[in-house]
Amino acid sequence: MDTNTEDQVGASRTATISRDHRETVGNVRVDDPRIRCNGINVYYGTNHAVHNVNLDIGKNEIIALIGPSGCGKTTFLRCLNRMNDTIPGCRVEGEILMDGQNINDKEVDVVPLRARVGIVFQKPNPFPKSVFENVAFGPRIHGLARDKTELEEIVVSSLKKAGLWEEVKDRLEEPGTGLSGGQQQRLCIARAIAVQPEVILMDEPCSALDPIATAKIEQLMAELRENYSICIVTHNMQQAARVAVRTAFFHLGDLIEVGETTQIFTKPRHELTEDYVTGRFG
Ligand SMILES: Nc1ncnc2c1ncn2[C@@H]1O[C@H](COP(=O)(O)OP(=O)(O)OP(=O)(O)O)[C@@H](O)[C@H]1O
Ligand SMILES: [Mg+2]
């Protein structure tokens, strides 16, 4: 009998779009987007890291970016609040529209932009300041509080929204760096929320956390979605499946496929997506 290896591992192919097809499959657009990306290309010197990506981030949606290491997820994510500006030799082309304005325009001030579009990194990076000051810092520099009482209210409500208040309410004057890893990550989320962002970018926010801390952050994301758009990079397929409404699969700098998360995981249309979600590579 003729057996092929894939049948032996119990997997059958349903994807119909061939591996050679490099145009994005699926609908990259949503009605009423919070962010609309048109023709995004990113270069590090001569390395063309992100190729002509078109993608919308919806209002109040969680979108997951997945794909093998080095495919450009972080690079793309960093475009959304101009963090690539901070990398020497990095060049971004294309249009990223928020409320009709291209955030890549030279005249756009990145300081308020980064308050509107906050970012949480893989490794929690609290400032070397107290828990309170970590959260108060942003509202203070952006002038969001009229007085000390208002500032305290913002700090408390941000810590509550980040699901951290009960654990730190008696430790507000202790250094943020003295918290556990999972607490530090929620502190960084509280810090991002404190400046009332519209979008929160998360680059593998749970990769250094245990399952309990991860579950807390995932629950938090589900709650935050009511008020914010969230774009999360994750290598954890189960996490993407649990939290994201839509999923975007990247491969070697191309956005290969976008769709509802359940479709991407159960009925991928592109062979590369299928390879990835079934664990054939990556
Ligand atoms: N600061 C940088 N300077 C030069 N090249 C970079 C820099 N950051 C990323 N690159 C290159 O850009 C490409 C995409 O990298 P990126 O970090 O965006 O991938 P990724 O999908 O986030 O990978 P991972 O899953 O490993 O985090 C890679 O070829 C990488 O080497
Ligand atoms: Mg990355």
pLDDT in tens, 75-127: 999 999 999 999 999 999 999 999 999 999 999 999 999 999 999 999 999 99
Q: Whose CA is nearest to atom 30 of ligand 1?
A: 70
Confirm or reject: Cβ of 82 under 6 Å from ligand 1: no
What was the pLDDT predicted at 281?
73
Average pLDDT, integer, range 233-260? 96
pLDDT at 9 over 70: no
pLDDT at 10 over 50: no
Instruction: Give the pLDDT confidence of 215-229 residue by residue, as tens digits.
Output: 988 998 998 889 999
Q: Ligand 1 centroid to 78 CA: how many Å? A: 11
Nearest 10 degrees: CA dihedral of 225, 34, 252, 15?
70
What was the pLDDT predicted at 108?
96
Contacts of 1 (CB under 8 A, 6+ apart): none
Query: In this structure, is residue 176 part of a structural domain?
Result: no
pLDDT at 261 over 50: yes
282 pLDDT band (50/70/90 cuts)?
low
Instruction: Give the pLDDT confidence of 42-89 residue by residue, as tens digits.
Output: 999 999 999 999 999 999 999 999 999 999 999 999 999 999 999 999
Query: In this structure, is residue 151 part of a structural domain?
Result: no
Q: Ligand 1 centroid to 71 CA: how many Å? A: 7
Query: In this structure, is residue 3 part of a structural domain?
Result: no
Query: In this structure, is residue 249 part of a structural domain?
Result: yes
Instruction: Give the pLDDT confidence of 147-204 residue by residue, as tens digits.
Output: 999 999 999 999 998 989 999 999 999 999 999 999 999 999 999 999 999 999 999 9
Average pLDDT, integer, range 24-47? 97
d(CA 36, CA 197): 17
Q: Whose CA is nearest to atom 22 of ligand 1?
A: 74
Confirm or reject: Cβ of 45 under 6 Å from ligand 1: no
Query: In this structure, is residue 227 part of a structural domain?
Result: yes
Domain, as residue range, for 214 = 18-125+196-277
Confirm or reject: Cβ of 75 under 6 Å from ligand 1: yes
Query: In this structure, is residue 138 part of a structural domain?
Result: no
Q: Ligand 2 centroid to 3 CA: how many Å? A: 38
pLDDT at 1 over 60: no
Query: In this structure, is residue 164 part of a structural domain?
Result: no
The Cα-based distances of 241 to 61, 122, 156, 207, 262 in angstroms read: 14, 19, 31, 16, 7
Inter-helix orientation angle 211-224/148-161, to 10°: 120
pLDDT at 279 over 70: yes
What was the pLDDT predicted at 245?
95
Query: Hey, which of 74, 254, 255 would you mutate to test ligand 1's pocket, going by the most ligand atoms within 8 Å of its Cβ?
Result: 74
Q: What CATH number has the domain bearing residue 44?
A: 3.40.50.300
Write down the residue that tokens 């589900």 correspond to. Answer: 222
Confirm or reject: Cβ of 65 under 6 Å from ligand 1: no
Average pLDDT, integer, range 221-243? 93
What was the pLDDT predicted at 5?
47
pLDDT at 29 over 70: yes
pLDDT at 212 over 90: no
Query: In this structure, is residue 88 part of a structural domain?
Result: yes
Split into its structural domains, the chain has a count of 1
What was the pLDDT predicted at 7?
45
